[in-house]
């Protein structure tokens, strides 16, 4: 009888522990807060992450010389045009090592319609983008990092991320 009681108590403790672990993982919203930053756009104006509070934000780390970056830009332009008034913000973070005016020439030639800023070592370190580009950091309406997308991001995937995150309460 003592042995059965000991087995039942052990099983009960295991079930309680498993239930707590399951509850924690299913209710967890432990997404890290996106680090705040202030960077200069290509005309010298300051842009901060907090300027876009309440929007779904796509921080796109790119460069003018990057082939895969150039491939994804038309999709970003199209999706930004479609959703900019519905809570989407795309912020291009140029990692070019040239003067902002040179990047501005490229932006105007390609007709990028979303804000572009010059990146810094600090923002690359804060967002842990790694050594490759393009990288897109996706931030939800509450200012939390939800995903890091490595490589080119096509419009279908960009739209799926946006529609999912904009619909969250």
pLDDT in tens, 27-41: 346 899 999 999 999
Number of independent structural domains in the chain:
2
φ/ψ of 9, rounded to 5, equals -65, -45
Domain membership of residue 45 as a residue range: 38-166
**One domain for residues 52 and 1:** no
**One domain for residues 23 and 53:** no
Residues β-bridged to residue 147: 138
Angle of helix 67-83 relative to helix 100-110, nearest 10 degrees, comes to: 60
**Three-state SS at 11:** helix
What pLDDT, in 10s, does the model give residues 51-75? 999 999 999 999 999 999 999 999 9
φ/ψ of 164, rounded to 5, equals -65, -50
Give helix then strand counts, H and E, for the chain.
5, 7
Whole-model pTM?
Answer: 0.81
């Amino acid at each position: 009888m003592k042995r059965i009681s000991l087995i039942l108590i052990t099983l009960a403790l295991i079930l309680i522990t498993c239930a707590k672990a399951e509850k924690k993982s299913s209710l967890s919203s432990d997404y890290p807060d996106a680090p705040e930053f202030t960077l200069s756009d290509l005309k010298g104006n300051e842009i901060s992450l907090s300027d876009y509070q309440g929007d779904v934000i796509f921080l796109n780390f790119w460069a003018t010389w990057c082939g895969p970056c150039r491939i994804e830009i038309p999709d970003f332009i199209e999706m930004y045009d479609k959703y900019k008034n519905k809570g989407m913000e795309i912020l291009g973070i140029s990692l070019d090592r040239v003067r902002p005016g040179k990047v501005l020439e490229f932006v105007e030639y390609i007709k990028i319609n979303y804000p572009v800023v010059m990146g810094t070592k600090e923002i690359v370190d804060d967002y842990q983008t790694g050594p490759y580009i393009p990288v897109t950091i996706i931030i939800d309406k509450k200012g939390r990092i939800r995903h890091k997308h490595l490589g080119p991001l096509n419009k279908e995937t960009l739209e799926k991320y946006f529609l999912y995150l904009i619909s969250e309460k």
